[in-house]
Amino acid sequence: MTNPAPLKAQIYVIQKMDCPTEEKLIRNRLESIEGIEDMRFNLMQRELTVRHSLESDKDVFSALTELNMEPARKGEEPADAEEHAATTSLRTKILVTVSGVCAAAAEAASWLGSDDKSAIVMALAAIAILTGGIETAKKGWLALKTLTLNINALMMIAITGAVFIGEWPEAAMVVFLFALAELIEAYSLDRARNAIRNLMEMTPETAMV
The pLDDT tens digits for 34-79 are 999 999 999 888 899 999 999 889 999 999 999 988 899 998 877 7
In the chain, the domains with their CATH numbers are 9-73 (3.30.70.100), 82-200 (no CATH)
Q: In sequence order, what are the residues at sequence separation of 6 or more whose Cβ sits closer than 8 angstroms to the Cβ of residue 12?
A: 47, 48, 49, 50, 60, 61, 64, 71, 72, 73, 74
The pLDDT tens digits for 120-147 are 999 999 999 999 999 888 888 888 888 8
What length is written for the chain? 209
- Average per-residue pLDDT for the chain: 87
User: What is the pTM assigned to this prediction?
Assistant: 0.76
The yes-or-no verdict on residue 156 having pLDDT over 70 is yes
CA neighbor of 109 nearest in space, from 94, 126, 97, 93? 126
d(CA 58, CA 35): 12
The pLDDT tens digits for 87-108 are 778 888 999 999 999 999 999 9
The yes-or-no verdict on residue 148 having pLDDT over 60 is yes
